[in-house]
């Protein structure tokens, strides 16, 4: 590789030097302001989870179990997959980056929808692969026909985000199976299910049912529905050969002792957790209904967020919400994503939204 193009005192790879770092959601500027810009869980940690984390402090001088053996067993049992399909990382965004590192490099192409998760361009560029971004349809859904048409012999993977962050709709199971059937033999279909616990659409894709096909890779996280964003833990469910490659690429001991303890305790408390998720789903549906009633063209949301297609008004509307102490995520020139929170905060969002009409 040539470093001639890299200006400056350090020979940074040109494709990295050209990249913007990941931009996290804006923080709340004051005590009355609320951060609704990162799709975080609004509920405090469950006492049993907080206890497990506190107890794990006794093990802090020791490295974590690199294989996350107990967690692997629990997740495998819960999902009814064999342990060799699983790989864990510091958030599913890490697993995605390790996966793409394992399968792609310069000259390879990765096809993904846009607008979608902000980390995708980064995850594709880091191994030196070429991003091929396919615009969403106007209703916020993936344009699967165009994504399929963009596949070439250089395409190593097609990424699908379902429910899609930031617009909300799911890819249907039929769409996913059709897509898989059309992909070449050596092109992976990576399905990002970061928000799957919030999906209620009966047609929603069920990629785990397609796991017999070695091209299917599913990414999930404990960050959103499970409320562990602060710990950084997510996982991949893939063909065992890919899972092994992801483990090879993952820096040793990426999933910390307290993160493993927290994930185990969270899984053990999943009934309580899923009851919280039900509340968020009910609030999401209420917000979508009210927003539509106000005349906003809100797409179907299957995640814990709602999308306002604000177009050229994006920055102005985001500033309006900020004036009301609500920090939303602005993606100019497309729209605004607002995380569903508690009923009180959601009412504040709806009041502020009404002020835009
Ligand atoms: C939040 C999110 C992730 C994963 O986040 P981690 O905290 O790294 O697990 C992955 N994909 C999408 C679409 C997300 O919104």
**Is the confidence at residue 4, as pLDDT, over 60?**
no
- Outline which parts of the chain fall under CATH 3.40.640.10: 47-268
- Give the span between the Cα atoms of 313 and 296, in whole angstroms: 13
In DSSP notation, 161-219 reads: ESSPTTT-PPPBHHHHHHHHHHS-TT-EEEEE-TTGGG---TTB--GGGGTTSTTEEEE
- CB-based contacts of 234, cutoff 8 Å, min separation 6: 88, 89, 90, 91, 92, 93, 94, 95, 194, 219, 220, 221, 222, 223
The model's pLDDT over 294-347, given as tens digits with 9 standing for 90+, comes to 999 999 999 999 999 999 999 999 999 999 999 999 999 999 999 999 999 999
Closest-lying ligand 1 atom to the alpha carbon of residue 90: 8
| pLDDT value, residue 6 | 55
**Has domain 47-268 been given CATH number 3.30.430.20?**
no
**Is the confidence at residue 115, as pLDDT, over 60?**
yes
- Give the span between the Cα atoms of 160 and 282, in whole angstroms: 25
The string over 168-186, giving b where at least 16 C-beta atoms fall within 10 Å of a residue's C-beta and e elsewhere, is bbbbbbebbbebbebbeee
Least Cα distance to 112 among 140, 138, 135 occurs for 135
Q: Look at the block and give the residue holding tokens 């179990």.
A: 65
- Outline which parts of the chain fall under CATH 3.90.1150.10: 14-45+271-354
Ligand 1 pocket test, candidate residues 22, 37, 91, 227, most atoms within 8 A of CB: 91
Q: Look at the block and give the residue holding tokens 């005349």.
A: 295
Mean pLDDT of 242-247: 98
| pLDDT value, residue 234 | 98
Sequence-ordered strand ranges (E) for the chain: 34-35, 86-89, 109-114, 130-135, 155-161, 188-192, 216-221, 234-237, 305-308, 326-327, 329-331, 335-339
Q: Cβ(221) to ligand 1 under 6 A?
A: yes
Between the CA of 108 and the centroid of ligand 1 the distance, in Å, is: 24
The model's pLDDT over 21-58, given as tens digits with 9 standing for 90+, comes to 888 887 777 778 899 999 999 999 999 999 999 999 99
Do 328 and 321 touch, CB atoms closer than 8 A? yes
Q: Look at the block and give the residue holding tokens 């995850």.
A: 123
- Give the span between the Cα atoms of 233 and 88, in whole angstroms: 7
Closest-lying ligand 1 atom to the alpha carbon of residue 303: 15
Q: Cβ(93) to ligand 1 under 6 A?
A: yes
Cβ of 152: how many Cβ atoms within 10 Å? 11
Q: Cβ(245) to ligand 1 under 6 A?
A: no
Between the CA of 58 and the centroid of ligand 1 the distance, in Å, is: 29
Domain 14-45+271-354: which topology? 3.90.1150
Cβ of 254: how many Cβ atoms within 10 Å? 20
Between the CA of 205 and the centroid of ligand 1 the distance, in Å, is: 18
**Is the confidence at residue 278, as pLDDT, over 70?**
yes
- What mean pLDDT is reported for the chain? 95
Residue nearest to atom 12 of ligand 1 (CA): 194
């Amino acid at each position: 590789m040539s470093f001639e193009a890299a200006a400056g005192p350090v020979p940074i790879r040109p494709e990295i030097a050209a990249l913007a770092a990941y931009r996290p959601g804006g923080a709340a500027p004051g005590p009355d302001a609320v951060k609704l810009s990162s799709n975080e869980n609004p509920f405090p940690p469950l006492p049993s989870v907080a206890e497990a984390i506190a107890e794990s402090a006794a093990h802090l001088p020791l490295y974590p179990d690199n294989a996350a053996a107990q967690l692997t067993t629990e997740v495998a049992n819960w999902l009814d997959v064999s342990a060799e399909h699983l790989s864990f990382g510091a958030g599913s965004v890490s697993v995605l980056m390790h996966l793409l590192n394992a399968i792609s490099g310069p000259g390879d192409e990765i096809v993904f929808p846009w607008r979608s998760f902000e980390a995708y361009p980064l995850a594709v560029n880091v191994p030196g692969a070429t991003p091929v971004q396919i615009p969403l349809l106007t209703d916020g859904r993936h344009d699967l026909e165009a994504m399929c048409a963009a596949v070439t012999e250089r395409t190593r993977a097609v990424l699908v985000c379902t429910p899609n962050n930031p617009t909300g709709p799911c890819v249907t199971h039929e769409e996913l199976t059709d897509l898989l059937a059309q992909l070449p033999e050596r092109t992976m279909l990576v399905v990002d299910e970061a928000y799957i616990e919030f999906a209620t659409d009966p047609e929603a894709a069920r990629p785990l049912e397609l796991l017999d096909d070695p091209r299917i890779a599913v990414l999930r996280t404990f960050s959103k529905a499970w409320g562990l964003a602060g710990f950084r833990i997510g996982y991949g469910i893939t063909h065992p050969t890919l899972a092994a490659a992801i483990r090879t690429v993952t820096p040793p001991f990426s999933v910390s002792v307290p993160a493993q303890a927290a994930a185990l305790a969270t899984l053990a408390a999943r009934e309580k957790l899923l009851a919280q998720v039900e509340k968020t789903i009910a609030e999401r549906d209420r917000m979508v209904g009210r927003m539509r009633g106000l005349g906003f063209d809100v797409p179907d949301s299957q995640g814990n967020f709602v999308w306002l297609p604000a177009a050229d008004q994006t920055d102005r509307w985001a500033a309006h919400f900020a004036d009301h102490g609500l920090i939303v995520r602005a993606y100019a020139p497309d729209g605004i994503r607002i995380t569903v929170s508690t009923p009180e905060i959601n009412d504040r969002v709806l009041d502020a939204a009404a002020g835009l009409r």
